[in-house]
Amino acid sequence: MKYFKGGEFKNRYKIEGTLSAISPLHIGDGEMMTNENRLPKTDKMEKTPAFNTVMVDDRATAYIPGSTLKGNMRSWITQIFTDMNGQSLACANDPARSDKIRSLFDANDIVDIAQIREDLRKELKMIEFLFGSAANEGKLEFWDCPMIKPPQAGKEKLQAYSGYDNQRGTIVMKSVAIDIKKGIAAKNKLYNFEAVPRGAGFKVIISGQNLDDDELGILLFALQGFNSFIFPLTLGAMGGIGFGRFKFDLSNIYCLDKSNYQDWIQGAVMNDHAGYSNIPELKDKFESKIKEFKQAFLSQCLGGRP
């Protein structure tokens, strides 16, 4: 039986890893900035040129929003597994799908939560259990990814040319605007934008509740998508020209379930801390558990859920 996030407690997982940029990254915030030190005005210019800026956190440092990570991972999984072998893994997230799921509620004249949950279990795809749908909250939580390793700026001449900002961890790059009608480079329309250069590292934390082994398997599979050379999972803008590429390294998996729940409560009370610091690491079981998760996911892909 499939579990919902808000149902009876089964387990809680925390997955940690690192995303290392192997190409420039631009996750824009929709704003423009001028900075004479980073992008100075030339003699031919009437005013200091502006550039598109990236998302920054409370430290004024570039970061990857959890919503960006979640959305791109869901899209990547959907493209690969929609209607694969007729199995219930993924489907397009469109208005028609939302209407179909909402219709399950309309079919019950009297609100019967147990019946609605049973109907949802039969209808929902695995990706909808994990990432959510029009009828249920997803079981995965994607934390914002702070920059933990700043990029290397290089020599002073490179810093001056690229407009490197040590605090923001970004450079300023140039590109050519595209003529929408012709689909080619627009004449005399250069633009400037801020980007995180290759070499930056970001901490990834994804937590999840009431996860089955095959669901953990598809999550780990998606994270390894960043390392794919055939169909890489990318983040941010301009992925079509090689931006937003990463290398993912898995650091650890933490697990809280009914077998260690009492120990966790005792540790939380004694240490005045009920956070993830008291959730046990898988440690020695780390590698073998990953194999179990992947095998469960593979079985689901090939044979379907019993």
What φ, ψ does residue 202 adopt, rounded to 5°? -125, 135
- Name residue 253's beta-bridge partners: 15
69's tokens: 């990570």
Query: What is each CA distance from 237 to 67, 175, 286, in whole angstroms?
Result: 15, 13, 34
Contact status, residue 1 vs residue 121, Cβ threshold 8 Å: yes
| DSSP character string of 10-64 | -EEEEEEEEEEESS-B--EEEEEEE-TTTSPPPTT-SSPPEEEEEPB-TTS-BEE
Domain locations in the chain? 11-27+62-148+199-303, 29-61+152-195
Angle of CA points 213, 215, 219, to nearest 5°: 115
| pLDDT of the chain, 306 residues: tens digit per residue | 778 888 788 999 999 999 999 999 999 998 888 888 887 777 787 788 888 899 999 999 999 999 999 999 999 988 888 765 545 566 666 677 778 777 777 765 666 777 777 878 877 888 888 998 878 889 999 999 999 988 876 655 555 558 888 899 999 988 766 666 655 555 556 778 999 999 999 999 999 999 988 888 889 989 999 999 989 999 999 888 889 999 999 998 988 888 888 877 877 777 766 666 667 677 556 667 677 767 776 776 665 544
Fill in the DSSP letter of residue 90: B
